[in-house]
Amino acid sequence: MENLEIKPSISCSCGPLSLSEKKNAECYQCGIPITGKPLKFEVDGKMEDFCCFGCYLINRTTGLRGEEGTALAFLGKFGFGYFLAMLVMMLSMYIYGSHFVDPNDREMLLFTGFIKWVILFLSTPVMILLGIPILKNSFSKENLLNFNTDTLIAIGSFSAYFLSVYSVLTGKNAIYFETATMILVLVTFGRYLETSSRVKASNFMKQLMDLSAKKATVIKDGKEVEIPVEEVRVGDIVKIKPGEKVSADGVIVEGVGNVDESILTGEIKPVLKKVGDYLYTGTTVLDGSFLIKVDKPQSQWTLNRFIEIMKQIRNTKAPINRITDRIAFYFLPIVFFLAISSFIYWFIQAGFEKALIVSLSVLLISCPCAFSIGAPLALWLGLGQAMKDGVIIKSAEVLEKLSTVKKVFFDKTGTITERTMEVSQVWFKDDKSRNVFYSLEKNSEHPLAKSFINWCKECRELKIDDFKVVFGFGIKGKVEGKEYILGSEEFLKQHGVMLDDNIKKLKENAIKNGEVITFLSDKQQILGFVSFSQKIRPEAKITIDALKNLKVEVGILTGDSDYFANVLKKELQIEDVRANLLPEDKLKAIKEEKSKGKVVAMVGDGINDAPALAEADIGIAMGCGTDLTRESASISLIGDDLRKIPLIIILSRKVKRVIYTNIFWAFIYNIIGMGLAITGHLNPVFAALAMVLSSVFVIGNSLRIKTY
């Protein structure tokens, strides 16, 4: 018999993270948790945390938060700066052409001088609107030690601006207003693209929050009263009508109908609900009307738990992400060294103006924005996409490790076979023995226990004392002072109870049919015998074939008999099926594969496989429903669809490819661009444009994850 387990002693290992962990600050603008040191800026008289300066810049220029602050409102205000910068660019072309005018043409010289003042007048608002926020980020007291790429941009653009102002005042020709303003325009637009992509990566969590009903209809003193959801309490009776969102978690006490649970499970097929079933916050009633009794506080409602877990997941970083952060940290001092060296070289070779232009180009092209967002953006999108498909991945590190998995072990009962098994053969010595069997199983969460409870409609529950689970063997308990044991034949042998000839015949017949057997004894004799028939899930063969196509080895670990193991080998065409295993045997099998250097995943039903899920490199718990507090599994499938396993492996591999592609191209842009800049072949405006294009490429490449 498979491992038995009872509710008080252990819980399913599905939960990604402990909710008691310390929360990180969230970005005031885009809402994404901040894993490093936050940037602090004053908003409406209060210091707020921002994940990056792009988010602060968006908020500063629009005064709006979230998607509103990254949409048309931003483009409207940004457009003003862009309009002025384009006028500056056109008038600057005239200034450059005036160098070929006859120096004795006094009227033309006066007009050219006037145009220079016009350009100064037009460029100054651009520097104030788009440049001051960047300058503040570089040198404010709150972020003084947070030396970053905005420092490069601020030095570059304001150097060009003040040099140009000096030239206007002294009548010189070193006018670079178009360089200063276009740098700010391009950088600001690049920040807009980056920030909007972050918001899109965080959209699923916003969708979850939007699913919460704002009002709930509560039955009070026989009357329907509409109240805010925040006022719903444990014990309230809530009514949900057809087409409404479920406003609270609770047990159905009246009604029957179909419910759309796709937001939780990723499965489109409606679920028929009736009295005794559970309704979850955020799901939608398609037809029928329900009365539910709220049985838990709001902090424990499914949707609220999902939102909390998603926030905690995004606080994590994959190893590849930490590596890129470290490289970016050392990259900035190197860039400054190259910029200063270039300035000195070109100052000696061609004078101050050439040296300034070259050093500005080096500073701008070297901005590692694309490199910095390449990994986190892809990871955020990957984690969000998995959540949409009904899969909770514990951390970014797990998502990255999943891409390298070489072998997947499956538990049998509730995983490869149907979770609910059917009672096949039953024998009890008397009615009391049947009621004792029923009462012991009533306290267990094992699939076999639930099958028997559903089958035995006329059984009477007795009071159980000293209830205890013995993992891998069975359960114990006392009824009226007498101890009973329920479990496998091996469990009975440990207590000196042997099978008589009649029971042996029943056992042999059940084994031939591939059935699972449970015995009841009072430590002296056999009092009952129940066998359960099982069916292989229809999607199991599809899943295993898909894993084979992905070059992933597949194995099955079960405590069942050799006979049913052979059935699995034949039906599923798997060679590695190991039968008659105890929990420690499953751990040994996993350790054996890990010792060969393989990344091993274990798939279990999340109830009786906690040790194996914890031992594997990646533990995948199935059918976790809404119980998201459990710890052993790295990945939780909210539903029971095995086909999600190869899909999330495909997703993880695509995320990994996208990350490495992002990093590769970001490096190529920087290396080629820096080479051109240092040798004096790249204008600062084109350097800024190249920097924006590199970020655009990274963002577009990352968005491909949504089509895995």
Q: Which two tokens stand for residue 648?
A: 């999330």
Gap between the Cα atoms of 633 and 619, Å rounded? 4
CA distance 176 to 359: 14
Tokens standing for 374?
A: 């390449």
Q: Is 144 helix (H, G, I), strand (E, B) or coil?
A: coil
Do 435 and 546 contact (CB within 8 A), yes or no? no
Are 168 and 116 a contacting pair, CB within 8 Å?
yes
Asked if 522 is an active-site residue, the reply is no
CA distance 565 to 86: 74
Q: For residue 673, give both structure tokens.
A: 């661009």
CA 53 → CA 137, 159, 189, 660, 700, distances in Å? 7, 20, 13, 25, 21
Neighbouring CB atoms inside 10 A of 245's CB total 19
In 360-413, where do the E strands start and end? 391-393, 407-411
Of the candidates 518, 515, 510, the residue with the CA atom closest to the CA atom of residue 532:
515
| Dihedral of alpha carbons 150, 152, 153, 159, sign | positive
Radius of gyration of the chain (CA): 33
Chain centroid offset of residue 457 CA:
43
Q: Considering all CA atoms of the chain, what is the largest pairwise distance in Å, rounded to the nearest integer? A: 124
Tell me which of 49, 260, 411, 609 is the catalytic residue: 411
Cβ-in-10-Å burial (0-12, 13-18, 19+) of 413 comes to: buried
- Single-letter residue type at 320: I
The DSSP symbol for 571 reads: H
List, in sequence order, every residue forming a beta bridge with 218; answer none if it has no partner.
225, 238
| Tokens read off for 477 | 């308990």
Counting other chains too, the contacts that 475-484 makes at CB distance below 8 Å and 24 or more residues apart are 475/4, 475/6, 475/440, 475/443, 475/444, 477/439, 477/440, 477/443, 479/436, 479/439, 482/522, 483/522, 483/523, 484/436, 484/440, 484/520, 484/521, 484/522, 484/523, 484/527
Residues 6+ apart with CB under 8 A from 280: 246, 249, 261, 264, 301, 302, 303, 626
Taking CA atoms, 88 is separated from 63, 134, 184, 644, in Å, by 27, 20, 13, 56
Exposed/middle/buried for residue 221 (C-beta within 10 Å: 0-12, 13-18, 19+): exposed
User: What is the DSSP code string of 256-300?
Assistant: -EEEE-HHHH---S-EEE-TT-EE-TT-EE-SS-EEEEE-S-GGG
Task: Label the pairing between strands 553-557 and 407-411.
Answer: parallel
> Mind telling me the catalytic residues?
411
